Structure 1
Amino acid sequence: MDDKRKIKARGRPKASSLRKLTKSVTMKFSKPDYEQLLRRSRQANRTLAEYIRNSAFEAQVVAKHSTEEATTMRNLVGMANNLNQLTKLSHQMGFYRTKNVIMELLEKLKSIMNDYKTKERRAR
């Protein structure tokens, strides 16, 4: 009665539910970018989907600027605008009348730039 032998399943074993790819993401690329992706995927000997998936998970994404840095930059832009206005005013009224205001503004600028430099060094 060997007819009741276990029959082995043929083919590739089923992927676990954790490894199974069930979600998709649609992306659009320009023609040159798409061709560059294809070229890179071929050089890596991967399918385009594998290449994009690996690139997405292996890449290190760095934020452009934190909210604190963006605020600092806005302040710097505002101060630069003020400095330009004071320069114009000093040309019209004379430098000695606007000297104190300009010196205070320069000190504030130096302070902000020094703070930014020390924060940037700590981030590295």
Structure 2
Amino acid sequence: MEHKECKKHNKGGRPKKGATEKLSYRIGVKMAATDYFCLLTQAHDAGTSPSEFMRECFRNGHVRERLSEEHVGYIRQLCGMANNLNQLARKANTGGFHDEQRNCKVAVARIHELLTKIGI
């Protein structure tokens, strides 16, 4: 009778995984050499395997959409305005701010308008 009771106890070993925990799907991904070595480096730095690193990226990461042509144009305009604002600041430092005050206010207003169009 004692022998039968021993068989009911835990036999040892790892418990079975549930259906949601099993890794049953495989996806092949082609990478350039630089991307592959970048993945290996990041996985090594994180202390995980490349597969586990990619799974964590899928779970917790997000992919941003590429910039539209409209947004690229806005960014170009912002770069130009930043250049103009730097030039105005240089003039203000050399010749006094009172002469360039209006130009600075106009530049700041245009920059604010573009930032609201972009959504920042």
Scaled to the shorter chain, the TM-score interval is 0.5 to 0.7
Structure 1 vs Structure 2: percent identity of aligned residues? 25
Pick aligned residue for 2:38 from 36, 39, 42: 36
What's 1:10 paired with?
A: 12
What's 1:26 paired with?
A: 28
Scaled by the length of structure 2, what TM-score is found?
0.54
In the alignment, the residues of structure 2 paired with residue 35 and residue 26 of structure 1 have an alpha-carbon distance, to the nearest angstrom, of: 17
Pick aligned residue for 1:60 from 62, 71, 74: 62
In the alignment, the residues of structure 2 paired with residue 62 and residue 116 of structure 1 have an alpha-carbon distance, to the nearest angstrom, of: 20
Change (3 A) 1:41 1:115: same
AA aligned to 1:29 is M
What displacement does 1:117 show? 4.6
In the alignment, the residues of structure 2 paired with residue 8 and residue 18 of structure 1 have an alpha-carbon distance, to the nearest angstrom, of: 24
SS class of match (2:29):
coil
In the alignment, the residues of structure 2 paired with residue 59 and residue 43 of structure 1 have an alpha-carbon distance, to the nearest angstrom, of: 17
Scaled by the length of structure 1, what TM-score is found?
0.52
User: For each residue in 1:68-113, what CA deviation from the matched residue of structure 2 results, as whole angstroms up to 9, or x when unmatched?
Assistant: x65x57xx8xxxxxxxxxxxxxxxxxxxxxxxxxxxxxxxxxxxxx
> What pairs with 1:81-92 in structure 2 (closer than 5 Å)?
none
Q: Provide the alpha-carbon RMSD of the alignment.
A: 2.6
What's 2:83 paired with?
A: none
User: For each residue in 1:3-58, what CA deviation from the matched residue of structure 2 results, as whole angstroms up to 9, or x when unmatched?
Assistant: 21114132111111111111111101122221121111111000110011111222
What displacement does 1:115 show? 7.8
AA aligned to 2:2 is D
In the alignment, the residues of structure 2 paired with residue 22 and residue 48 of structure 1 have an alpha-carbon distance, to the nearest angstrom, of: 17
AA aligned to 2:117 is K
Q: Where does the alignment leave 5 or more consecutive residues of structure 2 unmatched?
A: 74-111
> What pairs with 1:84-123 in structure 2 (closer than 5 Å)?
117-120=115-118, 123=119
Pick aligned residue for 2:50 from 35, 38, 48: 48
Q: Where does the alignment leave 5 or more consecutive residues of structure 1 unmatched?
A: 77-113
In the alignment, the residues of structure 2 paired with residue 9 and residue 119 of structure 1 have an alpha-carbon distance, to the nearest angstrom, of: 65
